[in-house]
Amino acid sequence: MQHHQWAPYPPLGWNSWDCYGAAVREEEVRGNAEYMAEHLQSFGWEYVVVDIQWYEPGAVSSAYRSFVPLEMDTYSRLIPAVNRFPSAADGQGFKPLADYVHSLGLRFGIHIMRGIPRQAVHKDTPIKGTSVTARQIAHPNSICPWNTDMYGVDASREGAQEYYDSLFELYAEWGVDFVKVDDIAASRLYDTHLPEMELIRRAIDRCGRPMVLSLSPGPAPLEYHEEFAAHANMWRVTDDFWDIWPLLYAMFERCEKWAPHVAEGQWPDCDMLPLGHIGIRSVDGGGSDRWTRFTRDEQLTMMTLWSIFRSPLMFGGELRDNDAWTLSLLTNDEVLQANRSSRNARQIFRDEQDRIVWMAEQEGSEDRYVALFNAGEEETLVRVTLAEMNIQGAVQLRNLWERSDAGVVQGDIEVKLAPHAAAFYRLSRV
């Protein structure tokens, strides 16, 4: 599929939600982009994504204000709020900001909600290039249960495809490289919105600009894995993920189920990395302005699982506040190589004590990766034999997080792990 070549590796980037909620401002986007260009770009980080409600002038946090006026053009399309994004003045939209991000050698992304603005429907505004109006294509009974901005679009109506075509035509003019579409992969009310997913796929393919398509929220239903791959590059396998151990604990089972469906250009998504300084203006996740509540062991566990599973990596914190520890998590090139170019990740075993072992293969070589986890509540010895990984003979261990050789082993690998801790190795034949 053509769109798979637009994301040959799991996308790596920054998203504004975990730190700024719906209220991020242009200077904050620019500042995080500058940090990424200086400190992270050489390690493969490239996407700068403005999350939800960039069209809401009065947004102050992740708590949505219901039924408030939104910024919209004459063709029923939402546009950036100029008070928050000053460069969008005079109808320029996100083009100046995208141009700036591109000037740094990075890629620019936005979040949108499925559907058409309710205020467009109430005002019955036109759809570009048609004689149809917003009211004629709206599906007023198809609503998002947690946000009041949009009605769904009835894909069977004349003008429905033209509406989505006009959206992505506008985003192409702005220079958008990545679009995260929300209220589509899973819904508490309506299941997966496949008809609108199809409209969006066609609209991107017609717009003349490659755009990586990300679908939210989750958990995406596993039975639609073929449809997700046919239409998108990444899709959430979880609801909003935050810095709470039970949510991380639950990801082991989700990753085990989705691992067979990871492939080039199609990435089941474990959601953002709630690391560093988060909650600045985001009250979601049960917290306020804080540094991540994950312990260092839990941070390593999350990064190890995301990397061997090959989830997209979207950092959620304020990059400019990173300490040396947080930066080290994002710039370990040996771990990032596993995320970028390993293959066939799978869980080898999980026992009743929540000792978990995953493995994967390095593309283009006989090397293997093995990740050992203690998801339990007591310190324990985690052990896996080479035979369980179908490996014969001796291997050299490379400790990826410590960036050091860990000796030659012939029979098994074992490590004592604290609760919620992990170890990550690369295995090479001696």
C-alpha pair distances (Å), 313 with each of 14, 117, 240, 335: 8, 30, 14, 12
Q: What pLDDT score was predicted for residue 285?
A: 75
Q: Which fold has domain 346-429?
A: Immunoglobulin-like (2.60.40)
pLDDT digits (tens, 9 = 90+) for 254-278: 999 999 999 999 999 999 999 999 9
Q: What pLDDT score was predicted for residue 388?
A: 94
Q: Taking the domains of the chain in order of start, what are their residue ranges?
A: 3-331, 346-429
Q: What pLDDT score was predicted for residue 287?
A: 75
Structural element, H or E, at residue 252: helix 245-258
What does the alpha-carbon distance between residue 177 and residue 102 come to, in Å, rounded to a whole number?
10
Which bin fits 239, alpha (ψ -120 to 50), beta or left (φ > 0)? Answer: beta
What does the alpha-carbon distance between residue 234 and residue 268 come to, in Å, rounded to a whole number?
5
C-alpha pair distances (Å), 350 with each of 87, 357, 369, 376, 378: 52, 7, 17, 11, 16
CB 113 within 8 A of CB 183: yes
User: Residue 270 contacts by C-beta under 8 Å, 6 or more apart in sequence?
Assistant: 237, 238, 241, 251, 254, 255, 305, 306, 309, 311, 312
Q: How far is CA 156 from the centre of its chain?
A: 30
User: Shortest CA distance to 419 belongs to which of 373, 384, 383, 356?
Assistant: 373
Tell me the residue length of the chain: 430
CB 250 within 8 A of CB 258: no
Structure tokens at 325: 């520890």
Helices (H), 259-381: 296-309, 324-330, 333-341
Structure tokens at 58: 């009065």
Q: Which amino acid is at 382?
A: V
Identify the bridge partners of residue 360 per DSSP, sorted by sequence position.
369
pLDDT digits (tens, 9 = 90+) for 276-318: 999 999 988 777 899 999 999 999 999 999 999 999 999 999 9
Q: How far is CA 157 from the centre of its chain?
A: 31
CATH class of segment(s) 3-331: alpha beta
Q: Is the dihedral of CA 404, 409, 413, 415 positive or negative?
A: negative
CB 233 within 8 A of CB 250: no
Identify the bridge partners of residue 214 per DSSP, sorted by sequence position.
180, 234
Structure tokens at 323: 């300490």
CA torsion angle 189 194 196 198 (round to 10)? 170
Q: Per-residue confidence of the chain (430 residues) as pLDDT tens digits?
A: 899 999 999 999 999 999 999 999 999 999 999 999 999 999 999 999 999 999 999 999 999 999 999 999 999 999 999 999 999 999 999 999 999 999 999 999 999 999 999 999 999 999 999 999 999 999 999 999 999 999 999 999 999 999 999 999 999 999 999 999 999 999 877 889 999 999 999 999 999 999 999 999 999 999 999 999 999 999 999 999 999 999 999 999 999 999 999 999 999 999 999 999 999 999 887 778 999 999 999 999 999 999 999 999 999 999 999 999 999 999 999 999 999 999 999 999 999 999 999 999 999 999 999 999 999 999 999 999 999 999 999 999 999 999 999 999 999 999 999 999 999 999 999 8
Q: What pLDDT score was predicted for residue 191?
A: 87
What does the alpha-carbon distance between residue 106 and residue 35 come to, in Å, rounded to a whole number?
11
